[in-house]
């Protein structure tokens, strides 16, 4: 008489480790045993094996510890007055992750990125988007890579690497999410008048010192995207004269800075930063950006001070997520421009038609001012529980066509923006008038070098000819 097949818990867990989540029927078939035997064996696994879903969707997954930081982490949101709220819990398993929401209802967009049980193959997009990016992100990653045993280049990080980073340095990142109890406690302990607080009257002395420190270590402020050298501070406005009036709240600002102004590269970057201030002013007037920037020359450099729209006062935050994170998570195929990606989102209802129109206008404006750096990290959406996603204010809009080379050389550039397609002519026409105003402002700005002012004048003439031929306004 043949011996009855049996299945042991180690054998089951080994299969779950190798194959990822499996139904009881799949496990039973692989082992050649009855499904009831699988169920009895799994009952002895305690919390190591978790049932995902119920009834016909039920499958079993094996928890996966991530190095020394555990296998599950609460995710918190900090609101606009600085209070923390638990948003959900992230759990790591062999084969993927599960997100369980703290509220009775999941975010309206959740079904587009995870199944009905909160299962996703990789780290959720709103967590992976917290990976360090840009100038400050690379500096932060280099500083922590040895102690955390991470690659120095954060673009090479795995999901696990990102989670390890978030437990150590995830308390002050763009947006309003904090992953883990310890980072949250650090975030809530952030004191008023910390080292990165700058009085408005001290900008001319503090900014050059912070720029020098940032070039050496990348320490000032949290990680923020963008390749231009920068630091992050809280700006304390000057007190009001009236003693019975409350002082203005501090404002979180991102401060970009040029190389020394007495170098060709520094002079050109100074022109580009001044140009960015004009682009932001025009977009703010059009309702596409959140505030005007200030330009300051001090310590032999030019500084561009841009208000952060993901911060409110001293401690409040707002949630944001990049187009790049959404596009990667949605998995809808390649897209080369903001507009191509946005059209996919609009077709699936993830962004509203008005957001698509705004993205078309921003993209056209960028083309018409020579912004050749409109990558997917330079467009963002508000991250809350609502759907469709709402477009966040514009940022990093400047004429990068004329940026110095990586070696610091200034080379001639050809500005030849293309006319619009007939289907986008209306949005293009609006953006073209923004661009005309932009180039006129740049050409007339005394902070702009004579050389770049001449370039701006020529570009203004180019835009004028395009408007004459193709504008529908």
* 404-418 confidence digits (pLDDT tens): 998 889 999 999 999
How would residue 4 be classed by pLDDT, with cut points 50, 70 and 90?
Answer: low
Three-class SS state of 356: helix
Task: List all residues 6 or more positions away from 4 whose beta carbon is below 8 Å from its beta carbon.
Answer: none
Average pLDDT across the chain, whole number: 91
Which tokens in the block code for residue 143? Answer: 């500083």
Does residue 219 register a pLDDT over 70? no
CA distances 28 to 36, 40, 63, 451, Å, are 8, 12, 20, 75
* pLDDT number for residue 173: 93
Reply yes or no: is the peptide bond before residue 388 cis, omega within 30 of 0. Answer: yes
pLDDT in tens, 134-144: 777 778 888 89
Range name among 35-44, 61-70, 167-176 with the lowest pLDDT average = 35-44
Closest C-alpha among 232, 241, 246 to residue 198: 232
For residues 276-291, average pLDDT: 96
Which pLDDT tens digit goes with each residue over 337-358? Answer: 999 999 999 999 999 889 999 9
Strand partners, 314: none
pLDDT tens-digit profile of 55-110?
A: 888 999 999 999 999 999 999 999 999 999 999 999 999 999 999 999 888 999 99
Please state, in angstroms and rounded to a whole number, the distance separating the CA atoms of residues 7 and 88: 35
Mean pLDDT of all residues in 394-410 = 94
Structure tokens at 99: 């997100």
- Give the per-residue pLDDT at 191: 77
Q: What is the pLDDT of residue 1?
A: 41
Count Cβ atoms within 10 A of the Cβ of residue 418 and give its class: 0-12 exposed, 13-18 middle, 19 or more buried.
exposed
pLDDT at 225: 47
Q: Which of 373, 396, 427, 445 is catalytic?
A: 373
Are 38 and 28 in contact by the 8 Å Cβ rule? The answer is yes
Q: Which residues contact 219 (CB under 8 A, 6 or more apart)?
A: 139, 143, 213
- Could you give the percent of the chain with pLDDT greater than 90? 74
Helix pair angle (134-148, 203-217), 10° resolution: 50
Whether 226 has a pLDDT exceeding 80, the answer reads no
Query: Of all residues in the chain, what percent carry a pLDDT higher than 70?
Result: 95
153 in active site: no
* pLDDT of res. 237: 83
CB–CB of 265/410 below 8 Å? yes
Quick one: which of 124, 145, 308 has its CA closest to 222? 308
Q: pTM of whole model > 0.75?
A: yes
Q: How far apart are CA 441 and CA 436, in angstroms?
A: 9
For 17, residues 6+ apart whose C-beta sits below 8 A from its C-beta are 62, 64, 94
pLDDT score of 419 more than 80: yes
Which of 269-283, 322-336, 409-423, 446-460 is the least confident region? 322-336
pLDDT of amino acid 5:
66
For the chain, what percentages of helix, strand and coil (3-state, to nearest 5) are there? 40, 15, 40
């Amino acid at each position: 008489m043949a011996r009855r097949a049996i299945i042991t818990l180690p054998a089951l867990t080994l299969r779950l480790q190798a194959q990822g989540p499996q139904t009881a029927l799949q496990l039973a078939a692989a082992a050649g045993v009855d499904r009831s035997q699988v169920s009895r064996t799994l009952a002895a696994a305690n919390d190591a094996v978790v049932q995902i879903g119920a009834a016909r969707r039920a499958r079993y997954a094996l928890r996966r510890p991530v190095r020394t930081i555990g296998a599950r982490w609460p995710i918190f949101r900090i609101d606009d007055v600085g209070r923390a709220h638990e948003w959900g819990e992230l759990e790591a398993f062999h084969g993927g992750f599960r997100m369980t929401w703290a509220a009775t209802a999941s975010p309206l967009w959740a079904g587009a990125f995870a199944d009905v049980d909160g299962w996703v193959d990789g780290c959720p997009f709103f967590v992976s988007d917290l990976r360090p990016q840009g100038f400050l992100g690379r500096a932060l990653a280099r500083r922590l890579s040895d102690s955390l045993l991470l690659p120095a280049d954060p673009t090479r990080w795995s999901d696990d690497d990102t989670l390890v980073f978030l437990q150590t340095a995830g308390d002050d990142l763009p947006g309003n999410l904090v992953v883990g109890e310890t980072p949250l406690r650090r975030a809530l302990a952030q004191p008023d008048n910390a080292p990165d607080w700058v009085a408005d009257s001290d900008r001319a002395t503090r900014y050059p010192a912070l720029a020098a420190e940032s070039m050496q270590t990348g320490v000032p402020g949290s990680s923020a995207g963008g390749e231009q050298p920068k630091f992050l501070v809280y700006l304390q406005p000057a007190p009001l004269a009236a003693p019975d009036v409350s002082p203005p709240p501090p404002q979180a600002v991102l401060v970009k800075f040029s190389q020394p102004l007495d170098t060709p590269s520094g002079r050109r970057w100074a022109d580009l930063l001044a140009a960015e201030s004009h682009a932001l002013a025009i977009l703010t007037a059009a309702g596409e950006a959140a505030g005007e920037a200030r330009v300051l020359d001090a310590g032999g450099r030019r500084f561009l001070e841009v208000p952060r729209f993901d911060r409110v006062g001293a401690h409040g935050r707002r949630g944001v997520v990049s187009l790049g994170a959404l596009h990667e998570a949605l998995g809808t195929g390649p897209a080369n421009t903001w507009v191509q990606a946005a059209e996919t989102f609009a077709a699936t209802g993830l962004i509203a038609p008005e957001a698509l129109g705004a993205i078309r206008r921003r993209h056209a404006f960028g083309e018409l001012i020579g912004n050749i750096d409109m990558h997917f990290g330079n467009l963002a959406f508000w991250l809350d529980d609502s759907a469709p996603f709402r477009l966040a204010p514009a940022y990093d809009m400047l004429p990068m066509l004329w940026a110095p080379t990586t070696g610091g050389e200034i080379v001639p550039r050809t500005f030849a923006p293309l006319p619009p397609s007939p289907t986008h002519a209306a949005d293009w026409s609006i953006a073209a008038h923004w661009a005309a105003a932009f180039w006129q402002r740049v050409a007339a700005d005394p902070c702009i070098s004579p050389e770049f002012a001449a370039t701006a004048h020529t570009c203004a003439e180019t835009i004028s000819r395009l408007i004459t031929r193709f504008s529908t306004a």
